[in-house]
Amino acid sequence: MTGAVDKNVLIAPSILSADFSRLGEEIRNVEKAGADWIHVDVMDGVFVPNITIGPLVVKAIRPVTGLKLDVHLMIESPERYVQRFAEAGSDIITFHVESCPSPAKTAELIRACGKKVGVSLRPGTCLSQLENILPLVDMVLVMTVEPGFGGQDFIPEMIQKIRDLKRDFPGDIQVDGGINVETASAAVDAGADVLVAGTAVFGKEDYAEAISRLRTGK
Helices 181-190, 158-168: inter-axial angle, 10-degree rounding:
30
Site string for ligand DX5, 84-123 (x = CB under 6 A): ----------------------------------------
Please give the backbone phi and psi of residue 200, each rounded to the nearest 5 degrees, phi first.
-70, -5
The region of 24-32, 37-45, 75-83, 154-162 touching Zn ion under the rule CB under 5 A is: 37-45
Site string for ligand DX5, 25-54 (x = CB under 6 A): --------------x-x-------------
Helices 181-190, 207-216: inter-axial angle, 10-degree rounding:
40
Query: 192: closest CA among 122, 140, 117?
Result: 140
Classified as helix, coil or strand, 47 is coil
Give the nearest residue (CB) to ligand DX5. 198
Q: Verify binding: residue 177, ligand DX5, rule CB under 6 A.
A: yes
176 is catalytic: yes
Chain-centre distance for alpha carbon 33: 19
User: What does 17 interact with, of ligand DX5, Zn ion, none (CB < 5 to 8 A by kind)?
Assistant: ligand DX5
User: What does 78 interact with, of Zn ion, ligand DX5, none (CB < 5 to 8 A by kind)?
Assistant: none
Alpha-carbon distances of 32 from 24, 25, 35, 132, 208, rounded to whole Å: 12, 10, 7, 39, 8
Site string for ligand DX5, 130-149 (x = CB under 6 A): ---------------x-xx-
Which C-beta is closer to Zn ion: that of 2 or that of 68? 68
Query: 94: closest CA among 77, 130, 114, 70?
Result: 70
Alpha-carbon distances of 116 from 108, 169, 171, rounded to whole Å: 10, 16, 11
* Whether the Cβ atoms of residue 136 and residue 161 lie closer than 8 Å to each other: no
Q: Verify binding: residue 193, Zn ion, rule CB under 5 A.
A: no
* Whether the Cβ atoms of residue 183 and residue 159 lie closer than 8 Å to each other: no
Pick from 72, 116, 122, 213 the residue near ligand DX5 by CB under 6 A: 72
Name the active-site residue from 44, 70, 176, 193.
176
Catalytically active residues, by annotation: 41, 176
Binding site for Zn ion (CB under 5 A): 41, 72, 176
Binding site for ligand DX5 (CB under 6 A): 14, 16-17, 39, 41, 72, 145, 147-148, 150-152, 176-179, 196-200
